[in-house]
């Protein structure tokens, strides 16, 4: 479990990682598996590389509305933003992921 994210629940964050895989959760939501994500505190006055690091994880799940999950490509670098949220895994345990927020603008991909 990503315990380092717990104190930042519902906090807006900026992230960078690599798309590993994705799957449909339901007709509206896609779960994107992001490997080696960097999760940083958002600050519009600071470059991403200089932002305060919240956590560096093995992987994290990004939950997107279907309209924002088009054109995903495996192993592509991705920059994204969202809110740290708690969710329940299929086995009943709790974990943390990144959920698209109302302030979600877009995903930036560089490759």
Quick: pLDDT tens for 33-67: 999 999 999 999 999 999 999 999 999 988 888 77
The whole model's pTM is what? 0.81
Lowest mean pLDDT among 1-5, 7-11, 61-65, 85-89: 1-5
Q: What distances in angstroms separate CA 56 from CA 37, 40, 42, 52, 53, one per listed residue?
A: 6, 9, 15, 11, 8
């Amino acid at each position: 479990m990503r315990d380092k994210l717990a104190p930042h629940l519902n906090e807006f964050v900026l992230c960078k990682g690599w798309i590993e895989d994705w799957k449909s959760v339901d007709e509206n939501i896609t779960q994107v598996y992001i490997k080696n994500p960097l999760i940083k505190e958002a600050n519009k006055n600071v470059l991403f590389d200089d932002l305060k690091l919240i956590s560096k994880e093995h992987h994290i799940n990004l939950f997107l509305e279907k309209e924002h999950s088009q054109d995903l490509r495996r192993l592509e670098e991705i920059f994204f933003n969202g809110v740290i949220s708690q969710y329940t895994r299929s086995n009943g345990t709790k974990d943390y992921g990144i959920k698209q927020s109302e302030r979600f603008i877009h995903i930036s991909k560089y490759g």
